[in-house]
Structure 1
Amino acid sequence: MKLNFQEFINEYKNRLADIFSTEEEKHEESLVRGIKADTYNQIMDLSPLAAFIPSQYGGFGGHTAEALKMLETSSYESLPLSLMMGINGALFLQPIANYASEEARSGVYDRVINANKMGGLMITEPDYGSDALKMQTSFTEENGVYRIKGTKHWAGLTGMADYWLMTARGVDSKGNLSRDIGFFIHDTRNGGIDVKEYYNNLGLYMLPYGRNHVDIKVDESHKLNPSSTGITMMLDLLHRSRLQFPGMGMGFLKRMMDEAVNHCKDRFVGGQSLFNYDQVKNRLSELQAYFTVCSAMCNFTSTNVPLERNTAKMDLEANAIKSVVTDYMQRAAQSLLQLTGAKGYRLDHIAGRSVVDSRPFQIFEGSNDILYQQISESVLKMMRKMKRTNLYDFLSTYESTSKAADYFKEALNFEINAKMPQRKLVDLGKAIGRMVSMEFTLDLGEQGFNKELIQNALKNIQDDINATMCLFKHGGEGDVVEDYQIDSSWFNLQLVNAR
């Protein structure tokens, strides 16, 4: 590389600021689907994806902290751009670094760095969204060549990516699909992927999504090689990606915070600055808390998740980070919109655009409701294994919650019901996810991060956890009324009473 990483990030930051600061580019990004070729080339000519690539292939080294910093720099100016980089890095380039053959690695990395090429991941199918293990896309092998057939959708960069990491299940001699999953690197120059439909996605206009018919052939040299099973490899891939969500969240949350603070200082209502109103200060303190907690998450991932680490067993940390930070992203966008008022309720305004662009982050790569349930299930499984029944006793000794648990001894000091309903699992998972985030924040504070921001964040997380635990213990009793159309017209009651 011609530049070292710090030189690159400075130039990258300035380049993005120039691109996305003009009114024309703001309009293009918010109202026009896709990305202009000239804009794309201006960005990619700096080789930002080199942040994910080991140095022996021309990258910066594949260091996690540098990858997150590149994502942060991207998302401050454009959340869709950061997602584009995140898809390429966490869902394509990093799996190739850990599981691809030397032939595949060198070929892909060369074109990514020197020819501005991109790659994506295809897992999701129309009938099997969150239930990925039941995917119907299949592969057969003959003479060292794999033929893969099926239908995939909602893959970011549909019709735009130059490479696809394709997932499929093998077929046995009886025509049955195997339980395990294979991963294959497909070069789109070889054809075989036909986009049947482009979706009118609500936000993230820069990224095309759609439904793809797949009938491709891939040489055995371009099949990923798992260290154990394909399912374990998929867990490593997904957990690593979720652990890096704070990179995308970091710049976005800082932008929401900066926009909100600047607006409130400049806007006068009732003869005084918005900044002086108590409820406004409450919203701003929450935005600063989200920024601080996300900083702590970045610190955790950078310290604990080097490229070579297998993250298949880091389910609790990965699920907590992804679900909590994406909840914060949507809350932050909603707060900015509330503060900016009617002016913000435009698709070409940073507030309105951020609301729709950040919302799918709570859905893709694991719906947050499901991830919160899985957090609780992970904790209950560990408690059973250790023969513990008291929630505080366990969390106070668990590595990722030991310090945070002491703030909630009274709220957590109860015997857990291992057979609680799903909605309770979700509520408990929300609380535990925030407790894990609080642990990271306490660690960040011990390393010298701004003490006032740390204290503010801790207060906000405590409020959030206490409210969630109150709901867990005393709420969630509502049920669905199936025959809701019977006697449910208020107007009919008006007619009866008028007689």
Structure 2
Amino acid sequence: MQIASYLSEDLGASVDFETFHENFRSKIDRVFNMRGDLDAASLQRGLPPFMMREIQSCTPLSVFIPSAYGGRGGHVHECQAILAAASYESLALSLTLGINGALFLQPLAKYGNEAVKAPVFKRFIEDKNMGGLMITEPDYGTDALSMQTSYTETDDGYHIQGTKHWAGLTGWADFWLVTARRQHDSGSLGRDIDFFVADTNRPEQLIEVEELYENLGLYMIPYGRNNVDIRVPTAHRLEPESTGIKMMLDVLHRSRIEFPGMGMGFLKRLLDEGIAHCRERYVGKKPLTAYDQVRARLARMQAAFTACSAMCLHTSETAGLAHNMASETVVANSTKAVITDLMQDASQSLLQLMGAKGYKLDNIAGRSVVDSRPFQIFEGSNDVLYQQIAEGVLKKMRRAKESNLQRFLADFAPTERAADYFKDTLSFSADLSLPQRKLVELGKILGRVVSMEFIIELGDRGFRSDLISNALHSFQRDVAGRIASLHHRPTAEVAEDYEEGASWLSFVQPSEA
């Protein structure tokens, strides 16, 4: 492969998607698999410049850009397919594209000022620019509504000040969406949240990187702490349909429901690697695939692949920009939390199947464990999302004056057919005042029932029946175990001052030698 092959002519928005998709898939296959120094590169921070140039030569981010601005139209199924193609080769690359698309380009397309959108989109297409989103602050992660980054109005725009960290593409992005709260004359901050476009190529909008973090995984993506002290024009403020908080929920819920695109290629790669390894590896004169426990792990990985396929279908038909996602808490949170749990579970299974071989830092099994783990944390910790799912459903049950969980789910659109699989096990009166840990457990159950609804729909469309049956069986078993945990009493409590009387050595009764 010639290093300068990125100079070849780009495939524009007029090319049919099948050709565009195959060109991108072939390109990243060559980039990640035909360079002798790839293993060394995978252990270094960042990405060799030639690799990014090769990848960007396909203009993959054009799938997130409306056709009126030279993009491919922002069709969600195309976005999902490009993310999946990328994640088969590199989860970090897929996340890089996802950050650009779901956390910058889509919000700008929906809420950006017309005077800003055209030049920004042009730079993404022609100059291969990148963009990200800054929400999280050192003292305010999950509690984003309490962020302290503030803005004041100036004669020609806004002055924004604060500190942001853990924004993917720190130091790389050409554009940022920066969230802030209005500072009143009294010094207090308003309750609502606003978004502002910052162009780092302009001195007054440059965001200073104070520290780059040594992140545990996802080596390709830089993260760090940023000092925000910028001035942006009036047109750089996003324009919400109602409130800024609802705009933020729309952005985050759409991003969460698009996670399956990143999970799709990743799970397929793990499944392919797992099956290939277990066919080739012999223990006791027979391949690993002959062992029942091995087949059980592979079956769970295959169920995750099927579930993710179903989620991609659902996302492709429901997450368009015309649909406001602000109120879609149950479905969006279920999608993100369940798919990221499946990604981590599949990576742990592959590592177990690979054995010592998989524990090398440059092996896909070990890398997958550390690279997929933060997906359960960022854009909403899964524990919090599961709690929100449970609270959302219980709130709807109160409004419907229905206390039986199974009856409610059977009449609730996201679960109406999947609820039939649990006519007995979910037919109980839901406690509306569950402790937090039980809310999380209930949320895990509900998230998997929602996922089963997606799987049933995929089966109705003609997806392989054996894969559908396997996935539904796997999720049924998972839910059954979690229902037992939900009903289990009593619950364990932590003893914070635990050291007194807790030294095993003091209880040893030595025997004579």
**Structure 2 counterpart of 1:438, one-letter code:** M
**Contact (CA 8 Å) 1:63, 1:306: kept in 2 or not?**
yes
- Corresponding residue for 1:249? 263
1:18 matches 2:30: yes
1:101 matches 2:113: yes
- Corresponding residue for 1:484? 498
- Corresponding residue for 2:47? 35
**Structure 1 counterpart of 2:78, one-letter code:** E
Measured in 2, the distance between the counterparts of 1:443 and 1:379 equals 21
- Corresponding residue for 1:340? 354
Counterpart mapping for 1:460-475 below 5 A = 460-474=474-488
1:293 matches 2:293: no
- Unmatched 5+ stretches in structure 1: none
16-25 or 331-340, larger mean C-alpha shift: 16-25
Structure 1 residue 144: deviation in Å?
3.0
- Corresponding residue for 1:53? 65
**Contact (CA 8 Å) 1:125, 1:151: kept in 2 or not?**
yes
- Corresponding residue for 1:121? 133
- Corresponding residue for 2:405? 391
Local SS of the residue matching 1:321: helix
Equivalent position to 2:102, from 90, 96, 99: 90
Measured in 2, the distance between the counterparts of 1:320 and 1:391 equals 17
Measured in 2, the distance between the counterparts of 1:63 and 1:190 equals 31
**Structure 2 counterpart of 1:167, one-letter code:** T
- Corresponding residue for 1:413? 427
Q: TM-score, normalised by structure 1?
A: 0.98
Structure 1 residue 161: deviation in Å?
0.3
- Corresponding residue for 1:264? 278
- Corresponding residue for 1:349? 363
Counterpart mapping for 1:429-440 below 5 A = 429-440=443-454
Structure 1 residue 6: deviation in Å?
1.6
Local SS of the residue matching 1:189: coil
Measured in 2, the distance between the counterparts of 1:477 and 1:221 equals 54
What is the CA deviation profile of residues 175-200 of structure 1, one whole-angstrom value per residue up to 9, with x for unaligned ones?
11000011000000123411111100
Structure 1 residue 29: deviation in Å?
4.3
Counterpart mapping for 1:71-82 below 5 A = 71-82=83-94
1:239 matches 2:241: no
Counterpart mapping for 1:193-212 below 5 A = 193-212=207-226
**Structure 2 counterpart of 1:176, one-letter code:** S
**Contact (CA 8 Å) 2:41, 2:48: kept in 1 or not?**
no
Equivalent position to 1:131, from 134, 140, 143: 143
Relative distance call for 1:476 and 1:229 in structure 2 (3 A) is farther
**Structure 2 counterpart of 1:157, one-letter code:** L
**Structure 1 counterpart of 2:219, one-letter code:** Y
Percent of aligned pairs sharing the same letter: 54
Structure 1 residue 24: deviation in Å?
3.5
Local SS of the residue matching 1:221: helix
RMSD of aligned alpha carbons: 1.3
What is the CA deviation profile of residues 149-192 of structure 1, one whole-angstrom value per residue up to 9, with x for unaligned ones?
00000000000100000000001121110000110000001234
Structure 1 residue 307: deviation in Å?
2.4
Local SS of the residue matching 1:282: helix
Measured in 1, the distance between the counterparts of 2:193 and 2:265 equals 34
- Unmatched 5+ stretches in structure 2: 1-11
Measured in 1, the distance between the counterparts of 2:239 and 2:185 equals 22
Counterpart mapping for 1:170-189 below 5 A = 170-189=182-201
Measured in 2, the distance between the counterparts of 1:194 and 1:482 equals 40
Equivalent position to 1:308, from 322, 329, 332: 322
Measured in 2, the distance between the counterparts of 1:430 and 1:190 equals 45
What is the CA deviation profile of residues 440-498 of structure 1, one whole-angstrom value per residue up to 9, with x for unaligned ones?
00011011000000000000000000001110011561110122101111112227888
Measured in 2, the distance between the counterparts of 1:15 and 1:182 equals 38
1:63 matches 2:61: no
Q: TM-score, normalised by structure 2?
A: 0.95
Measured in 2, the distance between the counterparts of 1:272 and 1:475 equals 44
**Structure 2 counterpart of 1:228, one-letter code:** S
**Structure 1 counterpart of 2:141, one-letter code:** G
1:157 matches 2:148: no
- Corresponding residue for 2:468? 454
- Corresponding residue for 1:9? 21
Measured in 1, the distance between the counterparts of 2:496 and 2:225 equals 34
Local SS of the residue matching 1:482: coil
Structure 1 residue 410: deviation in Å?
1.1
Local SS of the residue matching 2:425: helix
Measured in 1, the distance between the counterparts of 2:140 and 2:40 equals 34
Number of residue pairs matched? 499
Structure 1 residue 110: deviation in Å?
0.3
Measured in 1, the distance between the counterparts of 2:212 and 2:77 equals 35
Measured in 2, the distance between the counterparts of 1:479 and 1:355 equals 29
Measured in 1, the distance between the counterparts of 2:37 and 2:410 equals 50
**Contact (CA 8 Å) 2:390, 2:439: kept in 1 or not?**
yes
What is the CA deviation profile of residues 1-43 of structure 1, one whole-angstrom value per residue up to 9, with x for unaligned ones?
2633221110111111111114645324420000111111000
